[in-house]
Amino acid sequence: MIKFLDLQKINLKHQEEIETKLSQVFRSGWYLMGQELSSFESNLSQYIGAKHAIGVANGLDALRLILRGYIEMGIMDRGDEILVPSNTYIASILAISDNGLIPVLVEPDINNYNIDITKIEEKITSKTKGILIVHLYGRTVFTDHLKDLAEKHQLKLIEDNAQAIGAIINGKKTGNLGDAAGFSFYPGKNLGALGDAGAITTNDDDLAKVIRALANYGSNQKYVNIYQGLNSRLDEIQAAVLNIKLKYIDEENSVRKNIAKKYIAEISNPKIILPENPADENEHVWHLFVIRTENRDELQKYLTENGIQTLIHYPIPPHRQQAYKEWNDQSFPISEKIHEEVLSLPISPVMTEEEIEKVIEIVNGF
Ligand SMILES: *Cc1c(COP(=O)(O)O)cnc(C)c1O
């Protein structure tokens, strides 16, 4: 059985380093807001190239806190609109509605599954205050035109970088392309902790300060509260693990790139549409290798029977979820087609050559 993602194997690669460090943290008696967190924040900000990095409890909180920060700063107001792709993981959208902001869905580009930049301007109204782009599956979505558009309409450009840490476009890392970015270090992400963890990066001093307070009960100084904040912390154990794994992210992403390259070169089945391989390989870190076929459920069943575990990212589009029943009648045909047809093949930094070849052979036999 070829696992979709062998997390045990991924983390055991760093077993000695992680166990030694975890034992140090355990014995230190200091478990929150300590050296490991500040060191991770400094390493992450350096890696991304952004001035500030703030560790938080998870990726959803990272996005929630960015938007909440803009509300506290008076830049956004409840009832304002934020543009977001209709094809994304639900957390991108939850972060918006959780803040009393209105998510306005924009259809994706069928070739790369990311927000269709040419469809953004028509959705901008006097209420629009931001664009939340999502580098879905690890594929960057960014153009100078997008940046100009945000500037022209005075919109904050926010990145959901949960799936694309390490990707580079126009010489800049994702997480440093707009005004602020949210990261997730959920165990299955390219940089995964041993539990929940997340972070925010930004070059905006004021926003960073507000977010630090918001994530700490709304307080910059013990027992003095300026905002009605929350508790969203990245603990020392997770920060220690992330500090170790961050050193290997480029190496691990490049293994993913090589697997993707091989899949694209060698999977040839007329029933299957392969993901677009960007001309510049830095623009994709292959968090997921997503293929598309009209016979998706049949293909998944066939792969399972042949010992290959696959997943669907994602089976139900956000506008068809019960959680957003007010959107259930709306139509986003491209997004719907993607949700009906996509299937994610195994890809990870620990797949063996044999496993990769078996996936190719079986997929070609469908
Ligand atoms: C994983 C993910 C999130 C949420 O991160 P958590 O750490 O699970 O809260 C948000 N957006 C996208 C695109 C994700 O893939």
Domain ranges of the chain: 7-106+113-242, 249-365
DSSP state of 126: T
Residue spans of beta strands (DSSP E) within the chain: 52-56, 81-85, 102-106, 128-134, 156-160, 168-169, 172-173, 180-184, 198-202, 219-221, 224-225, 289-292, 342-345
> Which of 155, 366, 352 lies closest to 258, judged by CA?
352
Q: Is the CB of 133 under 6 A from ligand 1?
A: no
DSSP state of 324: G
CA of residue 29 to ligand 1 center, whole Å: 30
- 35-48 helix and 236-246 helix, angle to the nearest 10 degrees: 40
Cβ(148)–Cβ(129) under 8 Å? no
For 127, the token pair is 């209420």
The CATH number that domain 249-365 falls under is 3.90.1150.10
Ligand 1, atom 2: closest residue by C-alpha: 162
Ligand 1, atom 5: closest residue by C-alpha: 59
For 198, phi then psi, to 5°, come to -160, 175
Return the CATH class of domain 7-106+113-242: alpha beta
Pocket test for ligand 1, best of 5, 56, 58, 60 (most atoms within 8 A of CB): 60
pTM: 0.98
For 356, the token pair is 């990769």
CA of residue 52 to ligand 1 center, whole Å: 20
Here the contacts of 257-266 (C-beta below 8 Å, separation 24 or greater) are: 257/281, 257/284, 257/285, 257/286, 259/286, 259/289, 259/347, 259/351, 259/356, 260/284, 260/286, 260/289, 260/347, 262/356, 262/360, 263/289, 263/345, 263/347, 263/356, 263/359, 263/360, 266/360, 266/364
Q: Is the CB of 114 under 6 A from ligand 1?
A: no
Each of the 366 residues of the chain gets a pLDDT tens digit; together they read: 999 999 999 999 999 999 999 999 999 999 999 999 999 999 999 999 999 999 999 999 999 999 999 999 999 999 999 999 999 999 999 999 999 999 999 999 999 999 999 999 999 999 999 999 999 999 999 999 999 999 999 999 999 999 999 999 999 999 999 999 999 999 999 999 999 999 999 999 999 999 999 999 999 999 999 999 999 999 999 999 999 999 999 999 999 999 999 999 999 999 999 999 999 999 999 999 999 999 999 999 999 999 999 999 999 999 999 999 999 999 999 999 999 999 999 999 999 999 999 999 999 999
Cβ(135)–Cβ(164) under 8 Å? yes
Residues classed as catalytic: 189
Q: Is the CB of 162 under 6 A from ligand 1?
A: yes
Q: Which atom of ligand 1 is nearest to the CA of 91?
A: 10
